[in-house]
Amino acid sequence: MTIFPRYTRIVFSVIIGFLLFLTENELVGQEAIKFNTIVIDAGHGGKDPGAIGKMSKEKDIVLDVALKLGAYINEYLPEVKVVYTRSKDVFVPLNKRAEIANKNKADLFVSIHANSISVPSIAGAETFVLGLHRTEENLEVAKKENSVIVLEEDYSTTYEGFDPNSPESYIIFELMQNVHLDQSIHVASLVQNQFHSRVGRNDRGVKQAGFLVLREAAMPSVLVELGFLSNNKEEKFIASEEGKTYMASALYRAIRDYKTEHDEKSKMQDLTQAKIKAKNEIYYRIQIASSKAQIKAGTKIYKKFEDLWEYKEGQYYKYTTRCVSDYNEIVEQLKAVKKEVHDAFVVAFHNDQKINVSDARKMTNDK
């Protein structure tokens, strides 16, 4: 007695098989990537000076800090590509900045700014991630940084009617799903820790607000406010050579630590992926030895075949070398191995289980 006719059952199993196939391949396809590109965004520039202090302009301070940061990364993390949204005093529209980061497939986007406020006693550094402001104060910072778009031609079209001064325009940031939020918050807290513990800045914390420059960035991204140019003492510090160097090196250390963590995680993911891959695919190996007693690591055979792999069959420990998914390739490799071990032969595995070589070839459609 069957519920489904034979034809339907076949269709079912084909569909289920196909779904399983998809899942496995999707898992295998997601290879983790190392941190290899950073985009450093010096805010403002050209006709847009940003915040103005008694003795300095935001656009000049942030450009110097950006270039110093880039130089540190070039020197100490030479494998990381540094891309600047601007490396001189020019005006760059906000949407172009994120575009540069996306085009370069950056792993991190760091926008550098300095602040100004009507209360001169306020001082300290703060780092923002994209989101809806929780306080009016955060909204004010976003408004100020976003208002530079009015210097762009046709900004209303570019930003689809976004009005930097209208609180209603910011509601959209509540609806935005930022997949990189956790990582962005983490980078921001590493930055704040460095500013506080290594440079002794007043830590104003990690905050959220709707910054247009971060909105289009398709990677973890932060906006750093180095300090307040409206505070005399702070302006003197962050506008000085020493201050800029300290702030840049603090940013460098935060980014270095993030990269280390990021690459460590990628490595773990790669290992997991490799395990999944090996488990779900057919592999050919070359068997070179078989023994009732287990061969200890460090013995001659292990030195000769660095990739020696052991499996147990019945009472025997069996030892193989090489591991490839292509039958023709293993046959090629067998020729070389046979020069060392005359009676070496090919074995096949599926889900880490030994199977007949002929079955394996049928499963992989080898001719």
Residues of this chain that interact with Zn ion (CB under 5 A) are 43, 50, 113, 145
For Zn ion, the closer of residues 50 and 210 by Cβ is 50
Q: Least Å distance between CB 62 and Zn ion?
A: 7
Q: Least Å distance between CB 143 and Zn ion?
A: 11
Q: Least Å distance between CB 161 and Zn ion?
A: 23
For Zn ion, the closer of residues 145 and 235 by Cβ is 145
For Zn ion, the closer of residues 104 and 147 by Cβ is 147
Residue nearest to Zn ion according to CB distances in the complex: 113
Q: Least Å distance between CB 88 and Zn ion?
A: 17
For Zn ion, the closer of residues 145 and 152 by Cβ is 145
CB 162 within 8 A of CB 94: no
In degrees, to the nearest 5, what angle opens at C-alpha 219 toward C-alphas 49 and 161? 55
For Zn ion, the closer of residues 146 and 194 by Cβ is 146
Q: Least Å distance between CB 44 and Zn ion?
A: 6
Q: Least Å distance between CB 167 and Zn ion?
A: 20
For Zn ion, the closer of residues 43 and 93 by Cβ is 43
